[in-house]
Amino acid sequence: MREHTKVIHIGDKVIGGGNPVLIQSMTNTPTENVEATVAQILRLEQAGCEIIRCTVPTLDAAKALTEIKKQIHIPLVADIHFDYRMAIAAMEYGADKIRINPGNIGGVDRVKAVVDVAKERNIPIRVGVNSGSLEKHLVEKYQGVTAEGIVESALDKVQMIENLGYDNLVVSIKSSDVLMCVKAHEILAQKINYPLHVGITESGTVWSGNIKSSIGLGMILGQGIGDTIRVSLTGDPVEEIKTAKLVLRTLGLRKGGIEVVSCPTCGRTKINLIELANQVETLVSG
């Protein structure tokens, strides 16, 4: 965490400015299904999730945010793709932060409509850029998808919103290519002072995703870069929280918890140590 980053308030949480790195996850239930979404968020809270993101693809999903917020205890971020009207609706129905890619919600006029509402309500905007949707002219300029291209795309989006008179921003740049993602964060951290949300996108199943995310997050956070993190896994999002907590503890960015240390076993082992170690780890994983 870079101490000189801008401080941003997300609901009752604070990031940036040297504050602790917070753990985020995303629901995989239909947001319109309030009961299922709340149940999953409460499980995530119990596991240690500190910020939750829900997709808002429809007006019904936006309306559901009001009831969801009444039943949870952590800030709620609305994830918006393509339709700027959903960003506006999400804020009107109580989102604590919105995540948009200004490049895929239309022209400057539509971005301005979103920014105007965010400004009026002082709601932070997370500007998200993904290597998979990098603009054609940047792919051509850098002769492929590169860390430099991802950073330029992010800086363009940030400048667009700054030009509209708003700087209550968090920035995220993601790639499924771990080393490209690390390099992009190293470059971006030198160019802006906004808090960064860090994650390796589309990292994969619980097994492969944990490995890729742990390597990527470790290399980025180990340089003092990052203010919120998400471990993206294809599976139960509770597994994301377990990994994120262990990554932060391993890097010395979070205290508490119990670390289980166990022998890898060899021919001298006389008990079922593998089963025993797994049982103990499950018991203390909270």
pLDDT of residue 191: 95
Residue position matching structure tokens 């010395």: 252
Q: What is the pTM of this model?
A: 0.89
* Domain residue limits, the chain: 8-255, 258-286
pLDDT at 159 over 60: yes
pLDDT of residue 263: 58
CATH, domain range 8-255: 3.20.20.20
Q: What is the pLDDT of residues 28-78, one digit of tens each?
A: 999 999 999 999 999 999 999 999 999 999 999 999 999 999 999 999 999
The mean pLDDT of 11-16, rounded to a whole number, is 96
pLDDT of residue 267: 55
